[in-house]
Amino acid sequence: MNIVVCIKQVPDSGDVKINPETKTLMREGVDAVINPFDCYALEEGVRLKERFGGTVTAISMGPPQAEKALREAISLGADKAVLVSDRAFAGSDTLATSYALSTAIKKLGDVDIIITGKQAIDGDTAQVGPGIAVHLDMPQITYVRKIEELADGKIRAERMNEEGYDIIEADLPVLIS
């Protein structure tokens, strides 16, 4: 099973400072960490690898410093890591980010499951994961709280909703968040 986990390096929320003039996040001098929701995604990817075999590839789009997050992902159980980095990507919105990541994922070859965190703590848009699924023309299941079954080219998962949860089934390949 080929599992891809998307991770993002974000400012450590304990060190965040806001520029009083521009009202924007000041990233200089702030430690960077793996987005907490992406850590959950990575943990689930590693669990799936342990249950079903295969490989976990962590992928991130960001500046060269994002290599630190990818090295941490490997220390947490990912087998491989890919950094998508170019100065042209600086300031990318969620559409550009999802397009760049989906293009890189295509180059990895056949993928069974892509896992993303539900959102990044520095943007809270929750758009990159669904955007990747759209660009790759694959089904997606958002707000997954539990994978019930993974067999015969299908996944069945519990998806959280306002009243509790739904059971959703989809064909592989699939993106879950």
Asked if residue 93 is part of any domain, the answer here is yes
Helix/strand/coil for 165: strand
Asked if residue 148 is part of any domain, the answer here is no
Domain that holds residue 81: 2-141
- DSSP percent split of the chain into helix, strand, coil, nearest 5: 35, 35, 35
User: How does 62-87 read in b/e, with b if 16+ C-beta sit within 10 Å?
Assistant: beeebeebbebbeebbbeebbbbbee
* Per-residue pLDDT tens digits for 116-168: 987 666 666 767 888 899 999 999 999 999 999 999 999 999 999 999 999 99
* Per-residue pLDDT tens digits for 32-68: 777 788 889 999 999 999 999 999 999 998 888 889 9
Q: What is the CATH number of the domain that holds 111?
A: 3.40.50.620
How many residues in total does the chain contain?
177
Asked if residue 146 is part of any domain, the answer here is no
Asked if residue 172 is part of any domain, the answer here is no
Domain count, the chain: 1
Asked if residue 156 is part of any domain, the answer here is no
Asked if residue 39 is part of any domain, the answer here is yes
Asked if residue 94 is part of any domain, the answer here is yes
pTM: 0.86
State mean pLDDT over 173-177: 95
Asked if residue 158 is part of any domain, the answer here is no
